[in-house]
Amino acid sequence: MMNRRWVLDHYPQGAATKDIWRLEDAPIPDLQPGQILVKTRWLSLDPYMRGRIAPGANYTAGVAPGDVMQGGGMGEVIASAHPGWKVGDLAESMEMGWQTHAVLSPDLPGAKATNRVPEDIPPQAALSWLGMPGLTAYVGLTEIGRPLPGETVVVSAASGAVGQLVGQIAKLMGARVVAIAGSDEKLSYCEELGFDIAISHRDPEMAEKLAKACPEGVDVFWDNTGGVIHDTVLAQLATRARVVVCGRIAVVDKPAGEDIGLRSSARLIVTRARVEGLVVFDWWHKRTEAIRHLQQWHAAGHIRYREDVLEGFERMPEAFLRMMSGANIGKQLVKI
């Protein structure tokens, strides 16, 4: 039995293209004590992956040419040298990588750990609303954004894997939610989720419509995009606003130094706003708490979500480019 895997062929120059990865076969190593062999069923596509294929420094080690592409996934245990895992168990791990088979060490700490997939959910949910995107939304709002009842929360990329959950959790916390998205279909989806107002970032009057939607300013800004949206919202912050910088997908392919953005320091002084970057891996100790709340909200019908699914392992680069271009609605997944 061989392992099919996508490895990084070379770093992209500007936007990623399909040819930066190559598909290859490799033998599966023998299991060491404490390890399990997992056959992949689902793989996750997430914007953080773009930073992993850049040669520059990031908050964690990236992918070097010749390495298996990093990423989370879930699958079925087909061999075990770990006393707590048996053949047939379903496992989720951020260490899965773009490969058909993964040798995992369940007892690694924090985000490197392998987790059991709860039995009462579709297994791919462990990669979306009950996985890393759900944890991101939960900790970003409860620990950083902290919206109060009646406050206004603005979410960019509001129909995406994280944004759709941020808006729904903010509503559960009693906030008004203004969604920013890029197509009529995405805006309609945000309205279906119960967000109060949905504004297109392609609208030339976006700033004016945002000001009308937030007459007392923006109390919490969840920034998934950077770029023009970031600048527009920062210009409309309320006093003591909180800005959660979660993603930069609008500018990640631009040359280093090009994304300077609004010279916002004066505005931050006036509003006494707080801007904080969010890396979910710093908050993995909150995973159990987040899962408990997310499961309760979902069971009560308060959490809805969409998945954008491509089928076939060979389509991993296609799915990545689809996500980066914003063509997906909801969580981008590949079913193996």
Distance separating alpha carbons of residues 215 and 268, to the nearest angstrom: 18
Look at the domain 2-127+306-335 and name its fold: Quinone Oxidoreductase; Chain A, domain 1 (3.90.180)
Per-residue pLDDT, 287: 96
What is residue 257's predicted lDDT score, i.e. its pLDDT?
A: 52
CB burial of 322-334 (b: ≥16 within 10 Å; e: otherwise) equals bbbebebbbbbbb
Q: Where in the chain is the domain with CATH 3.40.50.720?
A: 132-281
> Range(s) for CATH 3.90.180.10 in the chain?
2-127+306-335
Pairing of strands 114-116, 176-181: unpaired
- Domain 132-281, CATH: 3.40.50.720
Distance in angstroms (rounded) separating the CA atoms of residues 321 and 277 = 25
Neighbours of 215 (CB within 10 A): 8
- What sections of 154-311 are H helices per DSSP? 163-172, 184-192, 206-213, 227-234, 265-271, 287-299
In this prediction, residue 260 carries a pLDDT of: 56
Contact 145, 173 (CB under 8 A): no
CB 222 within 8 A of CB 140: yes
Count CB neighbours of 190 within 10 A: 26
pLDDT in the model for residue 264: 65
Contact status, residue 53 vs residue 8, Cβ threshold 8 Å: yes
* Whether 237 contacts 220, CB under 8 Å: no
Per-residue model confidence as pLDDT tens digits over 188-234: 999 999 999 999 999 999 999 999 999 999 999 999 999 899 999 99
What parts of the chain have a pLDDT lower than 70?
Answer: 254-264
CB neighbours of residue 205 within 10 Å: 11
